[in-house]
Structure 1
């Protein structure tokens, strides 16, 4: 029996490379397609069973990306790809959206798929528009559309905000945000890839629609610091600077390129918890491969080993 063929779009980034490696090691064939290829539509029609769409423009922390760039990458391309998918014999379209389409900075309760969208950045708004368009399309009876909203994905090969925090702590620089207490959802790349595998294998158990994926447990920034300290052996001091001083420094970072700005401060100190109950119940998953802490430990060890 031949292995199911999975077409991955946007395989050059951290998530795409990790997912491609993961699926190749499992019982799948993987075919990657870059939309930078001339006449990419001519290469779209294959015997693939599933399309995983990872194409999109991520957060631009330097603030130089335009609204047009976000909407082209996160919406217009999605339309082209999905319309091409519906004209093929492929059965399953997995679109990787983002929690930012729903909420980006703070929520007082675990976020579910029925909550009203409140995107605040061009990134989140463009992701939200793409979701709305996809959900408005008529899905052929022999096809299925699964939209996934992950929070921050981390793992070996990704630096991001975790990498910034690691640099501070591993160099013995005191952490200045200890006066903030928070709890946030993340997802390790291992659990991300596990969800994709289970969706492909068990698509008959799922209805077309939006699903949240996340680690089972939220984690506080203070817990992440503790993990970094344990792995690096650095017993760095935590500074409980007054919140108004930290916020003032962040505002300076909005103008001058320093490591801390207002957006990054919100992401590092606010509460943003995601419920993954819907997808776990649909797929019959009781426990993910890694706990949130185990996933973070694996990622942080990869920083140390670079």
Structure 2
């Protein structure tokens, strides 16, 4: 199978390319300037037109690339141009070239900040930040570009992804877990759905080779609290959890003073998703739980 991958050098992209290559597939990485991103230094790839000879003969496209605004470093117009219009261009090129399968990785955060009731795919779209809003708009652009070819498309909405080389709230907690000190997270925050990078790659493979289409929320079984993530990581390292309690308001205040209010919310606010649809329609089996995968990852030396 010949698969074109945008964002091949990113966290998910590196793992997907390695898996596809290992299984004998031909992977075509797409430079980011082809979908509106800033060119890499020294790049000689033209910034116009995505329908090039490299696309011809492809069996599928996986669109992973996008801009993540952190700390106000990116202009809103740039984020929307790359994440929304870039997605439209990629989808339109796939349609123009009659590529039979295109998978777009969005985010579960298009549904907002979540809560204690598990989200389903038909719940309202209510993005709470620029990145989530750009992904919600990108989903609309994706389906608009596919038009009558909707049956060729899949949109995945992952919860926070963890694994070797990952970033984000779970990576921060696993990094904290490696410190040889007790931590005040024994009963902090609500349960959050998360997903391992191996599970994401498994699902991408399934979507590339199966007839499935539509939008799917994805997560591993067993949502965890921040303290659970730390405890599982330490258990994988052969250590005790070493967790204790402090008032949650005190910890939240400290996070605000440190300019980390957003990260604190991402680690502690309840966010649950229902994965019945992807299991029912694709046959995906979730396998080991989030806790089991965290233990195995830390035991193997992953981050």
TM-score (norm: length of structure 1): 0.86
Partners of 1:159 and 1:300 lie apart in 2 by 15
Distance 1:49 1:14 in 2: 23
Answer whether contact 1:90 1:143 (CA < 8 A) is retained.
no
Aligned residues: 290
CA spacing shift, 1:59–1:65, aligned 2, 3 Å: closer
Check if 1:86 corresponds to 2:85: no
Alpha-carbon separation, structure 2, partners of 1:59 and 1:86: 29
User: Is the aligned partner of 1:220 residue 2:218?
Assistant: no
SS in 2 for 1:139: helix
The residue aligned with 1:53 is: 63
The aligned counterpart of 2:204 is 196
Please name the residue that 1:163 is paired with. Answer: 171
Find out whether 1:71 has 2:80 as its counterpart: yes
Distance 1:90 1:82 in 2: 10
Rounded to whole Å, the distance in 2 between the matches of 1:227 and 1:159 is 18
Kindly indicate whether the alpha-carbon contact (under 8 Å) linking 1:251 and 1:262 is maintained by their aligned counterparts in 2.
yes
Q: Distance in 2 between matches of 1:35 and 1:164?
A: 27
* Counterpart check, 1:30 vs 2:45: no
**Map of 1:258 onto structure 2:** none
* 3-state secondary structure, aligned to 1:140: helix
Structure 2 equivalent of residue 20 of structure 1:
17
Gaps of at least 5 residues in structure 2 are 34-44
**2 CA distance for matches of 1:109 and 1:142?**
30
User: Structure 1 residue 283: deviation in Å?
Assistant: 1.1
> Aligned-pair RMSD on alpha carbons?
2.2
Residue 160 of structure 2 contacts residue 170 of structure 2 at CA under 8 Å; is this kept in 1?
no
Instruction: Give yes or no for the alignment of 1:278 onto 2:285.
Output: no
Q: Is the 8 A contact 1:194 1:289 kept in 2?
A: no
Q: Deviations over 1:238-276 (max 9, x none)?
A: 23221221221122122xxxxxx1111111111111111
Specify the SS of the correspondent of 1:18.
helix
Work out whether 1:99 is the aligned partner of 2:104.
no
**Any gaps of 5 or more consecutive residues in structure 1?**
255-260
Q: How far apart, in 2, do the equivalents of 1:236 and 1:183 lie? A: 18
Quote the offset at 1:126 in angstroms: 0.6
Q: Secondary structure at the match of 1:64?
A: coil
Partner of 2:104, secondary structure, is strand
Aligned to 1:293: 291
Residues in 1 aligned to 2:123 and 2:168: alpha-carbon distance in whole angstroms: 27
Match for residue 132 of structure 1?
140
